[in-house]
Structures are given as structure tokens and as C-alpha cells.
Structure 1
Amino acid sequence: MVPKGWEQNTLSGIVKEKISYGIVQAGPHIDDGVPYIKSSDVRGGINPNQLQRTSHDIHHKYRRSAVHPGDIVFSLRGNIGEAAIVPSELKEANLTQGTARISVSNEHDSLFHYYQVTSTSILNHVNALSKGSTFKEISLEELRKVRVLCPPLAEQKKIAQILSNWDQAIATTERLLDLAQQQKKALMQQLLTGKKRFPGFEGEWKAVKLGSIFSRVTTRNDGQSENVVTISGQQGLIRQDEYFNRTVASETLDNYFLLKKGQFAYNKSYSISYPMGAIKRLNRYDDGVVTTLYICFALAAKDKADSNFFEHYFESGLLNRGLTQIAHEGGRAHGLLNVKPADFFDLKVPLPVLAEQVKIAATLTSADQEIQALQSQLDGLKQEKKALMQQLLTGKRRVQCALDEAEA
């Protein structure tokens, strides 16, 4: 249903130039050439400083797809539906074949229609129109026929302004979150290596073997638990059905290791964020069962070592150098490092006095809490913006300028 005073149109009906894709073969990068925008450049907004450049001859040949400030660039393949506004500092650029230019006419507001094409309803529609099994894309013909709601120009501008204010709040929170994360990383490197000490603590730290303060956990699950957990780099030890949306464990769990709350597990699978695997502590649940591919262990010397201190230490990546030395040749088969338990427990770790460990852990935990608070704030802003888009872009909620015009 079209709201009162609004019209329904197609994307091809709101543009001043035909919706087009760009250059088929951009050729080698030319330092003083013309910037061009690929699908991957659209993600998260266009950064002019990161764009590759094509020759002026190729740009002239494809002048039909030249873009200017205010144009919408829409990804046709790969990250289908991601879009961005060409920033004011990018005076002229071009596109590749995987992106399309939507150059909105003067009777419409470009920012408003940017929000429209990135709304959930239109993205779902675009994905439904996409073709291809492994590499999906939407054709220009289908994109041009996508229907959009068009309020009067003044209302378009007002809606765009409201949503832009939300974007600014989101961007500010993202910057604060990034700053807090960087500060915590720096703090970890200083506090967990002894480069920065708290007043009242002096003297050299001991270096001890992991096996002198931790004991290996090899308790088999004998029907005590059905809580299958896996290690996620971002979420720690988490239920498989929450992480994968399904359980990928064997039907019988009797041969799995049984882990208790507060105990640790080392996942030897490596990734970009965790090049030598990840060590996580079981915090969410009273118990959990894990694959025997993990090296599991518990704090044994509670009079000498603090569990929270070592949770932060393992997360810092400071153990990676030692892990690199014990990961045996040919040990990256099937995505797993070949780290033997005996070698793992022979690794040396720093051991300040217990009181200093507790102080360091409390400081880093406080930094974590600040990060979590900012992440929650960011998630809330994004969710609220999504709900607001659903209301404003469909006319379910009208803005003041529309009400003023209706009363006039």
C-alpha cells in the first residue's frame, strides 16, 4: 500500500542517467590515472585513497559509467546489494563490471534512495532476483525494475537527515570501540610482559613451565554432560548449536573430554586472528564436552597463579612465539597445528607474584567491560536504526514536514 502523498516508481524511473555497470577490463594500475570502484570497495563506504586507477583512455571509453559525488554505487555480484554514496572528494571516477551506478535525478534525494536500496526489504528482494549457484549476481535489467516508494522531495530529505544522524552516532561509537580495543591491546603488551608495573611491585618475574601451574584434563565424558561446546575466536567456548546453528558432534559423546567451568582448552586450529590456535576458558556453562583434539587443562597451583591473569595472557598472543617453536614440521594438515601435549606443557610463561597477577587481571577485565559496553551500545544503535528505517522508508511513521504539508 502506497502512503498518502507518496508515489511508487522503479529505480530506472528516478535516475537522470541510465543505470549502468562499468569497465570490463581495467588494465594495470596507473598512478596518475582515474580511480575506479570495485564491489569490494563499496563495503563500509568508499575510501578514495584505497581505490585502484585505470588509464584515461579506458576511462574515456567507458565514460557512460563515470560516477560523481552523490551517485549511488551498487554491488551487482559477490557482496550483492551493498551500496555506498560517492563521497564529495572523489570528483570523478569509474566502475567495474561488478558494480552499477544509480545517479538519482534532481527531483529525488540521493541519500534517501541510498537508504532505500540498503533497506532489508529491498535487499531481500534483490537477493531473490539474483541468479547463479556459486557466484550470484543480479542483472542490470532486474535492478532497473526494482520498485521504490517516493515521498515528496522535502520528506525524502528529512528522512535522509534523520537516518544520517543515526549513522553519525553509529560511526562515533565504532571509533570509540576501535580506540578502546587498541588501548586494551597496548595495555596487554605492557602489563603482561612487565614493561609497565604497578606501584608497590618490584623484582624480576619468574619464568615457569605451564605444566608446573596447570594440570592436563583428560577426563572422559561418561554421560555426565550433553553440552557440546566448541572454541570460537570471538565468543570463546560456546555451545555448538549456538555457533553452527546445529550440532556437528558424533551421536555418542562418551569419548569426548569433560570440561568444568573455569578450565581451559587449546584449539590447535589456526586462523588469521589466531595464527597459532586459540586458548579459551569455559566461562558460560558449568560443564561442557569438547573434542579430544583439544588440549584441555586446569589451574593446579592456585596459591601461585591467578586464572583470570592467564586467561588474559593466553588471549594476548604472547604464547605464540613458544607455540611456533614446538609446532612440528608438516603439522598444518587438515587445518590443525601439530602440537604435542608434552611440548605444550613444557612452554615457559611469566609468573609475577599472585597479588600482581590479580591487579593486572582486574585492570584488563575493566578494559574488557568498557569494550563490551561500547559493543552493546553499538549493537543497540544498529538495531534501532534498522527499526527506524522500516518505519520511515515505508511511510508507517511520518516526519514533521509531511504532517505540516498535509495540514496546509
Structure 2
Amino acid sequence: MGVIPEEWKVSTVGCEFEIKLGKMIDAERNVGVPKPYLGNKAVQWSRIDIGNLPTVPMSRSDIERFRLRKGDLLVCEGGEIGRAAIWEAPIEECYYQKALHRLRSLRGFDSQLLVALLRQWSERGLLTNYVTQTSIAHLPRVKFLEVPVPVPPPAEQRAIVGALSDVDALIASLEQLIAKKRDLKQATMQQLLTGKTRLPGFGGQWDVKQLGEIANVKTGPFGSSLHESDYVQEGTPIITVEHLGELGVIHFNLPLVSDSDYQRLRAYSLQIGDIVFSRVGSVDRNALIRSDEEGWLFSGRLLRVRPDRRKAVAPFLSYQFHGERFKSLVRNVAVGQTMACLNTQILKSIAVVLPSLGEQTAIAAVLSDMDAEIAALEQRLAKTHDLEQGMMQELLTGKTRLV
């Protein structure tokens, strides 16, 4: 547990809380009145998902033993062990299954403070010594009782919980705002990319073209041209399927090839404005190549689309490719029984709709501004998460005192 202030006490979870496991779900043995219950997946960090709750027959005894009360602390016994949230009684009646521990404070220990401690312990792997590993790792009640816990004075507990709750509220508001901005962007894409809504100053009919008419489509190098054993520590990155993100190429865990291999594979180098598609599996995944990725290579599991700049604006096409209409078309025309596959001919045959180059540019600019706003909010959210982690480290160890 580390060094704590002299004014803090050391206790155990079992001394501070009553701990009870939930009801065993057994279709053959459960009898009684069907009641809604929470499983492991419903309990997330600091929130509980009550959408589409399952039911289980409950006897009179079960109802007395497993009915939740407002303020009950629920802790995951398996899965992400220690994940916890407080039941705020959003519905009148609910129960919990055996995959969850239910905790009720015995001596006034603040349940919200234990949620924060559990999160810190979980992230740092501090619960590992209390986990039983059979076929599935889990935290038995008898072990959970023994977990040591620092006990600040009640006033300091409340102050710590208040400070962390303020940051949690900021994080929740940012997450909600980002979700709204994403929904707004999707609605805007639906309107602008189909011509249902026109930007000021633009009119006229849109053209329908096959992709092969307005872009060059090329398959990545065959497996025999490049092997995993050819990868090096320093060199030119290769983009593969896992690097295709919604907002562009993901710059993480990129394989690299030597200068000699790069020269041999120059035909598969990328330019700004290229769009790369997954050729196998998630065939609707694609990403626009920007300046940071210029000169990189694409793997044999990808297809490269290089738009003709006289006919199409690459960012506009990229947004169209990320629309559900186009993604659905791609999934429907893909071949393969065990795994969806695309090839150059299939991709070339898919229809795209195109306004004038000027309108394409204007639409892409509107959507790009929305992406930039979302990215700024996500960056702010990430910084707030970092702030929360720093606060938890300071406050939960007593390095910084609020009282």
C-alpha cells in the first residue's frame, strides 16, 4: 500500500464493508418470479448500464438476499477484476448475479472513495496477489476481505471524493459533447454527401461514376515480395489493416522495412491524397493518406485508391467512403465464404456520386472543420484523464492533503 500519512489508519476491505456475492444463475434450478438483474458487463467504471437487462426467476428468499439498495457498491469478481460502480437506483427494483460482489459500508467508509482506490489498484495490477487463477481469473470473497485499504479521516474522505467527482463530471460532460459532435457530423455527412442539402452557391446535378473511372486502384505487394522477417528497427513504415482509423492512419506499432527493400517496393509507395482500403476481413475500413504518411508503403492486405485530381477531390471521396451507404455497398459486393475479400475489379466497379470539384472541396472543408473540433475535444478529454490519474496518485496516497 505504500507510505501514508500518520493521521490515516490501515484497515481491510472486509473490516470496512459487508461483502456478499450475487445469485447463481442456473436455468434448471432457478424458480420464482422473473426479476431484472445486473451481470458483470453491466458494471463499468463509475457507471452501470441498465439497458436490456436480463431476468431470472427469483424465490422469496432470493428477493430478500439479492435486491439492490441505493448506494450499494458493486465490484466485478471476474473479467476486469475490481471494476466498480455504485447503484443509484435508476429503476425501482433490481438484483445482481454471482459475478459481482455487493459491498455495504459498515463503519462509514465512503463507497466512492473505494471505487477510486479499486480503479487505481486495478490499473497498477495491485489486486493480482488476491486473484485466484483457475480456468478464469477471479477475485474470491475470502481474498477480497483481506485486501488492505487506507482510511483517511471522514472529512478528508469527503474532500477527496468531491475533488475526484468534479473531474469525473468534467470527463462525463466531455464524453457527452464528443458523442453529440460525432452524431452531428454523421447527420451532416448524410445530408451533404448525398446532395440532400446543398451548400450556398452550388447547384446542378451530380454525376454517378464507377470508382475505376475516376481513380487508379492497385493491390499491395504479394506475400512473396515481403515477409515479416524482413522488418527492421529503423526504416520506412508499412501500413497494414490495423492502422486504418476513422480519422486517418494510426501511427502505432508500424512495421518498418530497410532502404533496400523500400527501393525494391517503390511501386507501392503512397502519395498525399491516396486512400487505402482493407482487402480482407473488415473490407469497409479505409484511410486517407496525409502529408505525414507520404512515401510510406502499403501492405499486400490493402488496396490503394489514387484519385484523378481532375475528376475527384480526395478528402471528399474519403468522407464518402466513410459513409454507411458506401460501406454497405462494399460489404455487399465483397467475395469469400469464410472471410470477406476485395480485389481491384470489385472496388473499381462500385459507384460513387460526384458534384463539381468546387462543391467537393467545399463539402470536404465543412467536414474537416468538424473533425478538427472533435479531435480538439478528444485531446482535451485525454488531458483531463491524465489530470485525473495524477490527482488520484496524489490524493489516494496522501501526498497531497485537502484537509
- Give the TM-score, by structure 2 length: 0.86
- The aligned runs of 1:13-24 (5 Å cut-off) are 13-15=15-17, 17=18, 19-24=19-24
- The aligned runs of 1:245-284 (5 Å cut-off) are 257-271=268-282, 276-283=283-290, 284=292
Q: Which moved more, 1:59-68 or 1:208-217?
A: 59-68
Residue 148 of structure 1 aligns with an amino acid whose one-letter code is: V
Corresponding residue for 2:55?
Answer: 53
Q: Is the 8 A contact 2:208 2:354 kept in 1?
A: yes
Residue 6 of structure 2 aligns with an amino acid whose one-letter code is: K
Q: Deviations over 1:344-384 (max 9, x none)?
A: 11221111001100110000001101111111111111111
Q: Is the 8 A contact 1:5 1:151 kept in 2?
A: yes
Structure 1 residues 219 and 103, CA gap change in structure 2 (3 angstroms): closer
Shift of 1:51: 2.8
Distance 1:132 1:73 in 2: 21
Counterpart among 303, 313, 318 of residue 306 in structure 1: 313
Counterpart among 299, 311, 332 of residue 291 in structure 1: 299
Residue 377 of structure 1 aligns with an amino acid whose one-letter code is: R
Shift of 1:267: 0.2
Corresponding residue for 1:227?
Answer: 237
Residue 304 of structure 1 aligns with an amino acid whose one-letter code is: K
- The aligned runs of 1:131-280 (5 Å cut-off) are 131-132=132-133, 135-217=136-218, 226-230=236-240, 231-234=243-246, 236-239=248-251, 241-242=253-254, 257-271=268-282, 276-280=283-287
Q: Which moved more, 1:159-168 or 1:21-30?
A: 21-30
Q: Is the 8 A contact 2:78 2:139 kept in 1?
A: yes
Corresponding residue for 1:405?
Answer: none
The answer to whether the aligner puts 1:322 opposite 2:329 as a matched pair is yes
Q: Is the 8 A contact 2:244 2:250 kept in 1?
A: yes
Counterpart among 349, 364, 368 of residue 361 in structure 1: 364
Structure 1 residues 375 and 103, CA gap change in structure 2 (3 angstroms): same
Q: Is the 8 A contact 1:117 1:123 kept in 2?
A: no
Distance 1:25 1:234 in 2: 40
Q: Is the 8 A contact 1:270 1:278 kept in 2?
A: no
Distance 2:387 2:352 in 1: 45
Corresponding residue for 1:84?
Answer: 85
Shift of 1:319: 1.7
Shift of 1:322: 3.1
Structure 1 residues 160 and 90, CA gap change in structure 2 (3 angstroms): farther
Shift of 1:41: 0.7
Q: Is the 8 A contact 1:214 1:298 kept in 2?
A: yes
Distance 1:155 1:165 in 2: 15
Structure 1 residues 189 and 32, CA gap change in structure 2 (3 angstroms): farther
Q: Deviations over 1:144-184 (max 9, x none)?
A: 11111101111111111111111111111111000000000
Structure 1 residues 10 and 27, CA gap change in structure 2 (3 angstroms): same
Residue 302 of structure 2 aligns with an amino acid whose one-letter code is: Y
Q: For structure 1, list consecutive stretches of 5 or more residues without a partner in the other structure.
A: 403-408
Q: Is the 8 A contact 1:72 1:85 kept in 2?
A: yes
Residue 326 of structure 2 aligns with an amino acid whose one-letter code is: L
Q: Is the 8 A contact 1:240 1:247 kept in 2?
A: no
CA RMSD of aligned residues (A): 3.1
Structure 1 residues 366 and 35, CA gap change in structure 2 (3 angstroms): same
Residue 236 of structure 2 aligns with an amino acid whose one-letter code is: E
Aligned identity (percent) is 26
Distance 1:257 1:135 in 2: 45
Corresponding residue for 1:73?
Answer: 74
Count residues in correspondence.
Answer: 384
Corresponding residue for 1:406?
Answer: none
Q: Is the 8 A contact 1:112 1:156 kept in 2?
A: yes
Distance 1:326 1:234 in 2: 21
Shift of 1:122: 7.3
- Give the TM-score, by structure 1 length: 0.85
